[in-house]
Amino acid sequence: MSTDLGVTICGGQEFRWGQRTFIMGILNVTPDSFSGDGVGGDIESAVARARQLIDEGADILDIGGESTRPDSKSISIDEELQRVIPVIERLADEIDVPISIDSYKSEVARRALESGASMINDVWGLRRDRKLAALAAERGVPLVISANQRGTKYKDIVREVIDSLKWGMDLALKVGVARENIIVDPGIGFGKTLEGNLEVLQRLGELKALGRPILLGTSRKSMIGMVLDLPPDQRLEGTAATVAIGIANGADIVRVHDVLQMRRVARMADAVVRGRWS
């Protein structure tokens, strides 16, 4: 397992990669989340949900204001800001867990960081807005770079995922993002077929060649629905299987909706894979 990835500081917290799997809890402040868990513009509901995720064991909260489900419509910067900023401002004053902003727009990310977020999670891997890299460098915050194949055709999915992530890493490093602040995500569900998603999960360990911690986001995703023929709210066991396999294959942090259950899965997987369970 990853033992030489160093330490990433996020929101005053130390993420010592390789010691255990970290849990990123998903907080969708959208009305149209694919998983049905979006809290829309209800700030109190968002805060309550955030507190629940923390109580269940989330190491970090990932807050997103725009749905990334297939065929979803993009929203304006102003609308995204109206959704995420009030929630981030409230939570930054009330919780100690680091907050990640799930956005591919540099202006949204900038405002989120100013409001108390301390990580940028870019599902487009700097392909939509390269200024995110300069922003991460300027603020000294971690940056999640994802491999997104939407709108492309691929032949060797794992090779192309690695190439995409390396392109994003090189860009980030060039503008001054510290290596220890880069996290890579293979982008499960983003422009990949069922077979492609399964292959990425099977060969996840090949991403270790990039020398950075791996974030895996399979929670309730369509590949689980395709295999099990189940709607998003019934994909808990399928998610658990992908999380356990992902950890065995090299994941360092998992992004999930069901924090309580997936923390248990991660703890058991860590006991087997890393020899740690406390």
- pLDDT given at position 1: 43
- pLDDT given at position 38: 52
Active site residues per annotation: 221, 255
The predicted model scores a pTM of 0.94
- pLDDT given at position 68: 77
- pLDDT given at position 36: 47
- pLDDT given at position 39: 60
Q: Are 162 and 138 in contact (CB under 8 A)?
A: no
- pLDDT given at position 30: 86
- pLDDT given at position 60: 98
- pLDDT given at position 246: 98
Residue segments in the chain with a per-residue pLDDT below the cut of 70: 1-3, 32-41, 70-72
Domains of the chain in start order, with CATH, are: 19-273 (3.20.20.20)
- pLDDT given at position 33: 53
